[in-house]
A and B are shown apart, each in its own frame.
Chain A
Amino acid sequence: MAVAALLAAWLGLMALAITNIAAGANDGFKTAITLNSGIGPYSGKEVIWLATWFVSWPILHFVLRNRELDLKKWFGAFLVGLLIAVVLMWPPVFEAIADAIKGG
Chain B
Amino acid sequence: MEIPLLGRIRKMEPSLATLLLVIVGAVAVVGLVVAMTAPVGVLVGDTQWHYVSAFHGMAATVFLLGATIAVYLAWRLYIGEIRAFRDLKWLAAFSTVMSAATIGFGNWIYIAYRAPGGPRSYFLENLPEVHKIFFEFKEFIALFTLPMFAVSTFILWKYGDSLVKNREARATASVPILLGMFFLLLAYVLGAAITKLRGV
Determine if B111 is an interface residue (Cβ-Cβ < 8 Å).
Answer: yes
Which parts of B153-200 form the interface with A (CB within 8 Å)? 154-155, 158-159, 168-169, 171-173, 175-176, 179
- CB neighbours (8 Å) of B173 from chain A are 2
Main SS at interface, chain A: helix
Beta-carbon contact of A39 and B147 below 8 Å: no
Which one, B3-11, B36-44, B131-139, is touching chain A? Answer: B131-139
Beta-carbon contact of A5 and B154 below 8 Å: yes
Beta-carbon contact of B107 and A39 below 8 Å: yes
Which parts of A55-93 form the interface with B (CB within 8 Å)? 71-72, 75, 79, 82, 85-86, 89-92
Q: With A9-B147, A39-B110, A53-B147 given, is the CB distance from A75 to B133 under 8 Å?
A: no
Q: With A5-B154, A71-B168, A82-B179 given, is the CB distance from A91 to B132 under 8 Å?
A: yes
A25-68 vs B, Cβ < 8 Å mask (1 yes, 0 no) = 00000000000001110110010010001000000000000000
Main SS at interface, chain B: helix
Beta-carbon contact of A86 and B168 below 8 Å: no
A: contact size bracket: 20 to 34
The distance from the CB of A89 to the nearest CB of chain B, in whole angstroms, is: 4
Beta-carbon contact of A12 and B140 below 8 Å: no
A9 interface neighbour in B110, B132, B151, B159, Cβ under 8 Å: B151
User: What is the interface of chain B, defined by CB distance below 8 A to chain A?
Assistant: 107, 110-111, 114, 132-133, 136-137, 139-141, 143-144, 147-148, 150-151, 154-155, 158-159, 168-169, 171-173, 175-176, 179
Q: Can you list 18 A-B contacts with CB-CB less than 8 angstroms, sorted by A residue number?
A: A2-B158, A5-B154, A6-B151, A6-B176, A12-B147, A13-B143, A38-B114, A46-B107, A53-B147, A75-B168, A75-B171, A75-B175, A85-B144, A86-B141, A86-B144, A89-B140, A91-B132, A91-B136
